[in-house]
Amino acid sequence: MQLSEFKIIVTGAARGMGAHFVHRLAEAGAQVAAGDVDEAGLAAVVEAAAGLPGKVHARRLDVANDADVASFVEFAHGAMGGLNGVINNAGILRDGLLVKKDRTTGAVTKLSREQWDAVIAVNLTGATMLVRDAVAKMVETEQRPGVIVNISSVARHGNRGQSNYSAAKSALAANTVTWSREFAAYGVRVGAVAPGMIETPMTQGMNQKARDALVANIPVGRIGVPEDIWLAVKFVLECDYFNGRTIDVDGGLSM
């Protein structure tokens, strides 16, 4: 499909990679339904896209809320006059070791259930429910073809201090295969892109020592930028023969 043909949902659209995806799609003439909990950020994204060939329709979206997800899909379909794509980008970090013993005091701390639940709710359950409702709408309206792009992570292979995040992102990669098989009958392809270390507000909030150590281990010698990931997302959207696979875009980083 050509980018200009898309009527596509982008989650986590208020900043970072999501905002970049929205802008690139609008540049190409696509219609985009941009969702995020950050309404001020969404307003800025809409303003930045003013005058571009495409159209950005923005509304608050909490992917961890089932009713919000269902309502947003209806909003997106109505605002764009159809729906044939999703970029499943919304995500949060609540890092911490599962079990940690303080070297000085000997005190043992554990990853909280709240940290676990928050990440799973947004990064996995929310992403899954959005795909469910968006594809259901495509099937109901007999829209084909359709494309889902899941944003996974290099951390899906496992990363210290990210039990919750790794679990969610590995599940998204696995379900990329599952959904590609389930949705094939409806003309919907599913692909995933797994970023490595990318310069976004999320990674800027990382512990500096951990951040520096990661960057030092990237063979290409630099942190990635949202455009690096967009190039892979664009490929998944446009290549009608790509399905059920995850593309790693990580500069060669191995965690």
151 is written with which tokens? Answer: 């944003």
In the block, which residue shows the tokens 């944003």?
A: 151
Identity at 56, one-letter amino acid code: V
| Sheet with 246-249, edge to edge strand ranges | 55-60, 31-36, 7-11, 85-88, 146-151, 188-195, 246-249
Instruction: Write the CB contacts of 20 (distance below 8 Å, at least 6 apart in sequence).
Output: 226, 227, 229, 230
CA pair distance 57, 76, nearest whole angstrom: 8
Residues annotated as catalytic are 165
Q: Which amino acid is at 65?
A: N
